[in-house]
Amino acid sequence: MSDHIRLDGRVAIVTGAGGGLGRAHALALAARGAAVVVNDLGTARDGAGASDSPAQRVVTEIESAGGRAVADASDIASPEGAQALVEAALSSFGRIDALVNNAGFLRDKSLARMDPADFEAVVRVHLTGSALMSRAVWPAMQAQGGGRIVMTTSAAGLYGNFGQSNYGAAKLGAIGLMNTLKLEGARHDIRVNAIAPVAATRMTEGTVPPEIVAATPPELVSPAVVLLCAQECPLNGAIVIAGGGYFALARMMESAGVTLQSTDVTPETVAKIIPRITDFTGAQGHDDAFAALGVALDAIARQN
């Protein structure tokens, strides 16, 4: 790793960059030399309305600091919108080196009370939008011989949060998307990671105490995003938790497991070994589905 990370000559797209985390990411990337495409529909916290003003304000901030940026108001949750954003980036700067999938909004309510349209709308932007944007930048990154994609996940997706079934499902879905794209992009040096921000933004307004707001500005998440966008970043398929100066890695883990004789597999025998199944001593993570399957098949072969 370089002692001083720079992104000179590189081009980054940041979705949902008109405010909050996206704005902080765009400013941080530009400060390190990247040309930035600032995408934002300018919607309200619940996704309603539209305005090109937020994206243009961020572009003005970047240009005032001596950087290069263009504003874009494409709807990244539609195939046409995602492609239009990519074409805008290529026509403005000629290449795409990094994509930060940050766009999203909230429509919180318990699942039993949630309108199905509100579930679908949140998943459409957070998850489908991330997939469509990743698909749209892929040919340019592949032709260049590499690129970096950053998904945005959340503790609500990794661990759950009351009233956010739509948001949580989308945010964990982004990890499933990342886990596959890290494999599909490896031979092209397209690395795909995820950021799990701990930050006070418009989306968390009114839900966290003032002292937490003061300690977790979006700007303290963006250094990790800059690193994940850098050519020299060694990570691929990582879930990086970042906020308030705190950094950690999250990973899905599998317990050591217990193997029963096939003739002894009943609900009752499984119930008896629950304490052993849930013992995470010797737990491990897996790099892909075949690795996880291999562990199970090896255990079965040994038992038989």
Q: ∠ CA 45-168-276 to the nearest 5 degrees?
A: 160
CA pair distance 72, 85, nearest whole angstrom: 7
Which of 148, 167, 171, 191 is catalytic? The answer is: 167
Residues near 92 by Cβ (< 8 Å), separated by ≥ 6?
35, 37, 70
174: which 2 tokens?
């982004």
CB 15 within 8 A of CB 74: no
- Torsion angle in degrees (nearest 10) through CA of 177, 178, 180, 183: 160
DSSP code for 295: H
Query: How many other C-beta atoms lie within 10 A of the C-beta of residue 46?
Result: 14
Whole-angstrom CA distances from 26 to 39, 85, 132 are: 10, 15, 20
Written as six digits, the tokens of 14 are 């940041």
| Residue 167 appears among annotated catalytic residues | yes
Task: Please count the CA atoms within 13 angstroms of the CA of 63 that sit on its side-chain side.
Answer: 11
Residue listed under structure tokens 């932007």: 125
Asked if 151 and 174 touch (Cβ cutoff 8 Å), the reply is yes
* Dihedral over alpha carbons 93, 99, 102, 103 (to 10 degrees): 60
Question: Which residue, among 234, 245, 221, has the nearest Cα to 25 in the 3D structure?
Answer: 221
Angstrom distance (rounded) from CA 178 to CA 131: 9
Structure tokens at 178: 């990342």
Give the active site residues: 167
